[in-house]
Amino acid sequence: MERQSEKPPRHWTRIAKDATTGLTEAGRRPPLLAGETLLTMQRGVGLYDGASRCAAFDSGACWTSSHRILWISDTDGDVLALPHERIFSVAVAGGFGQFMPAALKSSPKITLTLSNYFISSSSELNGTAPETSASNVTWKCSICDAYNPDNIRICAQCGVKRDPSTSSPATAQLPQPLSASEKQCPVCTFINHSDVFFCEACDSRFPSAQSSSKLESSALGSKGSLQSASAQNILDDDDLMVKLSFRQGGINEFAKALKGAISSKEWEKTQKSAAEIDGILPSSLESATKSLNISSSGGGGISGIIKKVDQTNQVLDKTLSNAFQDLDALMSKASDMTKMAQSISARLAAASSSNSGGALSVEDPELIAFRSFLVDLGISSPVTKEMTGDAYTQELAKELSEFLGKVIKRYGGIIALTDLYCIFNRARGVALISPQDLQKSVAQFERMRLPFRMRKFDSGLLVVHSSDYSDDAIATRILNHIQSAKVASVTDDWGVGLTSLDVASREGVSIVLAKELLLITEKYGLICRDDSVEGIRFYRNSFVEIE
């Protein structure tokens, strides 16, 4: 939790943890907005604040979705986001020195240039203003004497680390206005004309107290309501730059997916409300019947209504046949067709419920009920192999663990792996996983410290269970059962003990599982058995106490 105080690099916003999922931090997955789909991810990505590396955000998994870039910290599951709509351009800079020693190596980086329209208009500025003003304080490199902004720890000129002992921050003074037309550079004392912003001799930037005039000419041109106080620092190129360093490769795939997502502007489509599609498909059935009832006095509008309904149907038919011409046609109309599908089924459901005669569904009621349960749990953006590369198994394990968190209660805290295979795949939809994939991911649970475990029974059955079925929890519960059975019976000191059938009815589980639970407790030496012709009864182990 300490890290929560660490401020994210500029332009990134932290996404608060969702307490409801109850996942451990290791299992943190990207939280999605409505209509958002995950596209690809890459591990080992570090963030830069301007030109400098952020130690606190140095290693994480970076996802690009259709709407945002999401970065999840490896260490504590901290999630940062940067919406695509703010990105102006994407540039890839290949790294160098792959064969050189680590100190000289540079990983390939993606540099995102943000459009300043959004910076100036968004509330983001509250966070950025104090940080950028800090860059006015400079420090002098002990090796090459170059002046660097305070937020950079490595000299921009020679690449040597800042030596904290010798280089005290050289406080940036405002340029000395010697006269109306001249000012002195605070770094090299060269006397410049008062209109310049960079020293002509040493190239250092003048602190921006007086540079607002320049701002007004450029930034204000596009956006009228800039507050000069907060906008002072935007103009520096660094301030509009966000860098991602890819230390484990995969940069080209990531950049490709990112560019695709930015150009397709999916976020704009989801913002459009369903109203638009309703415009194409007026819910003519209801409106037609309503207007029929209303118009009972005149009856003049009936032919008009019939005509309108006919027209709507024609439009619908045409849209349908156009969209299904080929895959490209369907892809380009995908979101419209999705809404149309929903509208058709909703209207059909409404119409058939009012006309009680029409039995529509060909499927069994049992299956429909089961489906509706699964639809609620649908995984909107399932993890795939193409998306995650070699992190596939781990990411799948996280997704699975999130899913289990929602369903396992319904199964009493324990579920057979085969059942899980079915419902998990149904929730994922088209993105089928193989039984082997599932088995591998489940095997990762313990290593990744996710809150579920796999157990193998003697019969060969594999189950996944929640912490309710950890050995400790089982032993505690069984001992409680034995204790309460002993209290209930007053016959003798030992009580009546418990059979697996008793435990089954107390726990609401099968006899085989109950027996398994008893055997686990017995293994711990907490209970002992009385093996007779009537079956096995278990009693509390008092032999331990005698010694």
Rule CB under 8 A: which of 281-320 touch another protein?
Answer: 284-285, 288-289, 292-293, 295-296, 299, 302, 305-306, 309, 313, 316-317, 320
Residues contacting residue 197 through CB under 8 Å, at least 6 positions apart: 205, 206, 208, 211, 214
Rounded to 5 degrees, φ, ψ at 175 are -55, 135
Member of 209, 535, 542, 544 binding another protein (CB under 8 A)? 535
422 interacts with another protein by CB under 8 A: yes
322 interacts with another protein by CB under 8 A: no
381 interacts with another protein by CB under 8 A: yes
519 interacts with another protein by CB under 8 A: no
Report residue 16 as tokens: 């608060």
| Beta carbon nearer to another protein, 96 or 324 | 324
Closest approach of another protein to the CB of residue 453, in Å? 14
354 interacts with another protein by CB under 8 A: yes
Closest approach of another protein to the CB of residue 375, in Å? 6
Closest approach of another protein to the CB of residue 510, in Å? 5
Separation of alpha carbons 334 and 322, rounded Å: 12
338 interacts with another protein by CB under 8 A: yes
Residue 66 identity (one-letter amino acid): S
| Beta carbon nearer to another protein, 443 or 544 | 443
| Beta carbon nearer to another protein, 107 or 425 | 425
| Beta carbon nearer to another protein, 66 or 192 | 66
117 interacts with another protein by CB under 8 A: no
Rounded to 5 degrees, φ, ψ at 461 are -70, 135
Quick check: 401 and 424 in contact, CB under 8 A?
A: no
364 interacts with another protein by CB under 8 A: yes
Which string of DSSP letters, residue by residue, matches 91-125?
Answer: EEE--B-TTS-GGG-B--EEEEEEPHHHHHHSTTH
| Beta carbon nearer to another protein, 160 or 432 | 432
438 interacts with another protein by CB under 8 A: yes
Separation of alpha carbons 42 and 141, rounded Å: 35
Separation of alpha carbons 191 and 188, rounded Å: 9
| Beta carbon nearer to another protein, 18 or 376 | 376
432 interacts with another protein by CB under 8 A: yes
| Beta carbon nearer to another protein, 143 or 306 | 306
Number of residues that bind another protein (CB under 8 A): 103
Report residue 36 as tokens: 């958002």
439 interacts with another protein by CB under 8 A: yes
Neighbouring C-alpha atoms within 13 Å toward the C-beta of 325: 8
Q: Which of residues 19-38 bind another protein (CB under 8 A)?
A: 37-38
Separation of alpha carbons 434 and 408, rounded Å: 21
Q: Which of residues 485-514 bind another protein (CB under 8 A)?
A: 499, 501, 504-505, 508-513
Residues contacting residue 148 through CB under 8 Å, at least 6 positions apart: 138, 139, 140, 141, 155, 156, 157, 162
Closest approach of another protein to the CB of residue 358, in Å? 6
Closest approach of another protein to the CB of residue 115, in Å? 23
Separation of alpha carbons 420 and 347, rounded Å: 33
Quick check: 65 and 254 in contact, CB under 8 A?
A: no
| Beta carbon nearer to another protein, 78 or 516 | 516
Closest approach of another protein to the CB of residue 160, in Å? 44
Closest approach of another protein to the CB of residue 499, in Å? 5
Separation of alpha carbons 428 and 374, rounded Å: 10
| Beta carbon nearer to another protein, 166 or 289 | 289
Closest approach of another protein to the CB of residue 339, in Å? 9
529 interacts with another protein by CB under 8 A: no
Residue 207 identity (one-letter amino acid): P
Q: Which of residues 182-211 bind another protein (CB under 8 A)?
A: none
Member of 263, 358, 409, 472 binding another protein (CB under 8 A)? 358
544 interacts with another protein by CB under 8 A: no
| Beta carbon nearer to another protein, 141 or 281 | 281
Rounded to 5 degrees, φ, ψ at 110 are -105, 130
The DSSP call for residue 170 is B
Separation of alpha carbons 313 and 296, rounded Å: 25
Residue 59 identity (one-letter amino acid): S
- Of 3-11, 22-30, 220-228, 532-540, the window that binds another protein (rule: CB under 8 A) is 532-540
CA torsion angle 397 400 405 410 (round to 10): -140
- Give the N- to C-terminal CA distance of the chain in Å, as an integer: 46
Nearest one of 337, 308, 307 to 321, comparing CA atoms: 337
